[in-house]
Structure 1
Amino acid sequence: MYAPIPALNLLKEFEDGVDDYFAPGFELIAFGEDDGGYPRLSDRIRPFARATGSGSTYAIWLLDDRADLATLPVLLLGDEGGVHVVARDVPELLRVLASGWSPMCGWEDVDYYDEREGEGGGDEGGYDPCPRNPAFRAWLREHFGLEAAEDPNAVVRAAGAELGDAFAAWIGPLVPDAVAAGRTA
């Protein structure tokens, strides 16, 4: 068993069965054994994946004491700074990942962008940061009945709006820079 979250155990099986990225820069790491670069948060987060090739990390935020960890919010811990709520729960993060868009995180905000768009990208045979994304989308449909987020930024903004006050109250005293203008994401 990889994690105390059945959805992440299924994701680990999927990841072990593909030979390339299914979401840009995404790789599962040992569940809860890292502090994501934020040791002051380690008692309330459980890192579980690299979010980017440069070292940003996804972590479960232990917002409360609910037993089903998959229903807790997911944070993005930026490798160059910034901590943001990016999903209300693990299934919502899976939808964001299935978009195939890459996260970019700083202290002020987090934004997902499609690396495949623009010059030389997409269907023209250019760079594809996640060649196994179609297989991941099919897996997400089969196991969870979910579709990829058409606009991952809308998902992230909704999660940030819903959880922003609780997040700011928790993280503000620990990492003041994470609370830019009183609101995140």
Structure 2
Amino acid sequence: MSNAYSPVPELNSLKEFQERCGSEYYANEFELVEFGKPSGAETYSDEQEFIDSFVCFARANRSGSDYAFWRVDHRADLAASPVVVFGDEGGICVVAGNIRDLFRQLGCDWWQWPSWESAQFMEPDPDDKPSPRHGDYLEWLKENFGLTPPDDPNELRHIAEAEFGARLESWVDRFYQDPMDL
């Protein structure tokens, strides 16, 4: 039996990095959580097909939003699956086309602001200090994956939304109807 954090090598590498960081953030309010723990999916539907289609792996912000892989088409490589965020106040939105795109977005050190309409990354105020271990994260990202952050993390979000957004919305509608629409 493996002691690995997850079946995703990229996340295992990040978990090792996070453990070296201790309690200090390396990307704005992001932190890995127990892999596969219940995500916000249970608040949208009790249908097992729906719940099993999301694999939670991280907290997106301090207010309780979660990142999860969406098993959109049961890809063999979970790391190649799109990443969604379950907003703490509602909404399920596509954030990244895969885990490496999310890693690049985290390299911007912007905070995640999910809503019912979208999951924007918001640029910190000029007076805000970067996450304490952000420089270490950028080095880790470059050394381990040869990646650098985009100028704006929303660029990658827009690409992922164009590819998966309508499909996610249509799929979620099969299982969830907003009480306000009843």
TM over 0.5: yes
Displacement of 1:37: 5.3
Distance 2:14 2:148 in 1: 15
Give the aligned partner of residue 42 of structure 1: 51
Q: What TM-score do you get using the length of structure 2 for normalisation?
A: 0.88
Instruction: Please list every run of 5 or more consecutive structure 2 residues that lacks an aligned counterpart in the other structure.
Output: none
Give the aligned partner of residue 131 of structure 2: 130
Correspondent of 2:72 among 35, 55, 63: 63
Q: Deviations over 1:56-93 (max 9, x none)?
A: 00000001122110000000110001110000000000
Identical pairs, percent: 40
Structure 1 residues 129 and 83: CA distance shift in structure 2, 3 A: farther
- Count of aligned positions: 169
Give the aligned partner of residue 4 of structure 1: 7
SS for the counterpart of 1:52 is coil
Q: Is the 8 A contact 1:25 1:129 kept in 2?
A: no
Distance 2:176 2:103 in 1: 27
Q: What TM-score do you get using the length of structure 1 for normalisation?
A: 0.86
Displacement of 1:129: 5.1
Correspondent of 1:84 among 90, 93, 96: 93
Give the aligned partner of residue 167 of structure 2: 166
SS for the counterpart of 1:76 is strand
Distance 1:170 1:78 in 2: 17
Structure 2 residue 26 is the aligned partner of structure 1 residue 22: yes
SS for the counterpart of 1:32 is coil
Give the aligned partner of residue 72 of structure 1: 81
SS for the counterpart of 1:131 is coil
Distance 1:27 1:107 in 2: 22
Distance 1:129 1:77 in 2: 24
Distance 2:82 2:136 in 1: 25
Distance 1:129 1:175 in 2: 38
Opposite residue 114 of structure 1, the aligned amino acid is: E
Distance 1:16 1:36 in 2: 25
Distance 1:57 1:129 in 2: 21
Q: Is the 8 A contact 1:21 1:129 kept in 2?
A: no
